[in-house]
Amino acid sequence: MPKFAANLTMLFSNLPFLERFAAARLAGFTAVECLFPYDYPAEQIKEQLSTNGLKQVLFNLPCGNWGAGERGLAASPDRVEEFRAGVSKAMAYAQVLGVPRLNCLAGKRVSGYSDEEHRNTLVSNVRFVSEALQGAKLTLTVEAINHFDIPGFFLNRTEQVAQLIEEVNMPNVFIQYDVYHAQREEGELTATLRKYQKMIGHIQIADNPGRHQPGTGEINYPFLFEEIDRLGYGGFIGLEYVPEPDTMTSLAWVKRYGYQL
């Protein structure tokens, strides 16, 4: 049976961030994730996790100025030092929060640099992160983002992430498979899950179109969840969707599909 984690950046967004932990626990979740925890001291987030009996399963490495449209620095040839400084910050948060894995976003192409320069930077940076995390017994995931939602993003397809991981050649680097982005960019969800099952370290979901909860779009989530179980995936599935019309109403699909939080 799938294990679901509430993405607190997307869900319960009517509440201040630190109040979303209690709301998630009240809804029945035992695990949470978020895009970034860095706006709050790690100790405050740890307190919310402990008070509400929650496990934090994932967050992203620092990604530059998100509000200004930046979506990652790992492939940016001109910001290597900034990216690597962010790794130290993320590891400090991970240590306090007990997070087992961090996610890396490659970011958008930078004008004036070739694809080869972007790729060389990305390989070097991912290897740097994986070596740093290995000593702390943490794993790293790398995510592809569809080019419709984020034009210019450097990694768009699951195959590209798999090729990157093979080139980096470190045992603690995996694919973060976001079903929504995969459906928009490449489709073939079941075949892709089967092909790369051993490389997938974390899964996130949303339906398409609209990026709302399962059951609002074209993806056959009951079939997909059964396939994920059949393949033996034992990790959490992050609910990284825009709830419609609100979070609690949006969660009706869980019971309807025969699951529980």
Asked if 240 is an active-site residue, the reply is yes
Asked if 81 is an active-site residue, the reply is no
Q: Single out the catalytic residue among 43, 70, 227, 240.
A: 240
137: CB partners within 8 A, 6+ apart = none
Q: Single out the catalytic residue among 143, 166, 218, 227.
A: 143
- Tell me how far CA of residue 234 lies from CA of 31, 67, 202, 243, in angstroms: 14, 34, 9, 25
Name the β-bridge partners of 108.
Answer: 153
The residue among 205, 258, 223 whose CA lies nearest residue 11 is 205
As a three-state string, the secondary structure of 189-241 is HHHHHHHHHHHEEEEEECCCCCCCCCCCCCCCHHHHHHHHHHCCCCCEEEECC
- Tell me how far CA of residue 12 lies from CA of 21, 158, 178, 183, in angstroms: 9, 29, 20, 25
Answer whether 203's CB lies under 8 Å from 175's CB.
Answer: no
**Active site residues per annotation:** 143, 240
